[in-house]
């Protein structure tokens, strides 16, 4: 039963990461607004358009790495489970 909860937790973390990265890729200014409370004068230090595009590229790259990593891990897990069933 503990492996179920571990898998559930891992899947939840991956889904939350994917949602955050997808949101940052589509709406980078929204993510900036969530963190602008850290600055005394947020309007003076707002990132440029280039910086927002770089954040979009970074989020898209990390999302692609996340998806590829999940596919690789799942395929390795499926192959190991078939090998375990053989014994």
Predicted local confidence at residue 61, as pLDDT: 97
pLDDT band for 1, please (50, 70, 90 cuts).
low
The string of pLDDT tens digits covering residues 42-53 is: 888 888 999 999
- C-alpha 32/C-alpha 9 separation (Å) is 28
Entry pTM: 0.79
- Beta-carbon contacts of 54 under 8 Å, excluding residues fewer than 6 positions away, are none
Residue 28, Cβ neighbours under 10 Å: how many?
20
- Domain coordinates in residue numbering, the chain: 2-86
The string of pLDDT tens digits covering residues 69-84 is: 999 988 888 888 787 7
């Amino acid at each position: 039963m503990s492996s179920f909860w571990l898998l559930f937790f891992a899947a939840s973390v991956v889904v939350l990461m994917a949602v955050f990265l997808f949101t940052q890729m589509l709406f980078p200014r929204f993510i900036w607004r969530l963190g602008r409370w850290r600055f005394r004068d947020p309007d003076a230090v707002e990132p440029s358009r280039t910086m927002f595009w770089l954040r979009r590229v970074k989020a898209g790259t990390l999302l692609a790495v996340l998806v590829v990593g999940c596919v690789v891990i799942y395929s390795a897990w499926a192959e190991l489970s078939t090998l375990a069933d053989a014994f």
